[in-house]
Amino acid sequence: MKKLEHIIVVLNGWALILMLTAMTLVVGANIALRYLTAHSLPWADEAARYLMIWMTFGGAGLVLRMGGHVAITNLRDALPDRGQKIMRGAIALGLLIFFGFMVYVGIQYAQRMQYQVTPALRLPFLYVYAAMPVGFALLILHLAFIAYPFITAGSYKHPDGDDSETTHLPDSANG
């Protein structure tokens, strides 16, 4: 199971790196062409926008594993240890339900958009809106991997995925 988790984290990270690289190259080429030839690529802004959408949804799960999303912990901190575990369990369950709902809604939305095409690239919007269900499915996967240590100890995975070292966020970082 740990090997599968490591593979998913590495593939997710490399996908983000490749998308960021592609976005950088497209925008950089467009800027260079605009200043060197007074012409630009008509599809560059659109491609960069859609890559940014995919990076946002695709990276949310990696941020979740490290506790990087905004959290307000005043109520949780006021509870005794057992109450904190129950609250963290309820939060994890609530997130799982929400993420599952968003996968369902995202699939429906992407299917509705499959016959419309983007203005410049002429891609079906299905490929753009597919970022939503894919991203939320990744969030479910990452949540499944971190749920137990989060619920029991309030800790998150270390950025390199090593279980021997977990990250406890200080109260000031959680709001």
pLDDT tens by residue, 150-162: 999 877 766 555 5
CB burial of residue 35 (10 Å; 0-12, 13-18, 19+) = exposed
The rounded average pLDDT for each run of 10 residues, N- to C-terminus, in the chain (175 residues) is 94 98 98 96 97 98 91 88 93 97 97 96 97 98 94 73 48 41
> What was the pLDDT predicted at 77?
86
Tens of pLDDT, residues 4-27 = 999 999 999 999 999 999 999 999
Bridge partners of 156, per DSSP, are: 167
CB burial of residue 33 (10 Å; 0-12, 13-18, 19+) = middle
Position 14, amino acid: W
CB atoms within 10 A of CB 89: 14
Position 65, amino acid: R
* Torsion angles phi and psi, residue 70, rounded to 5: -65, 135
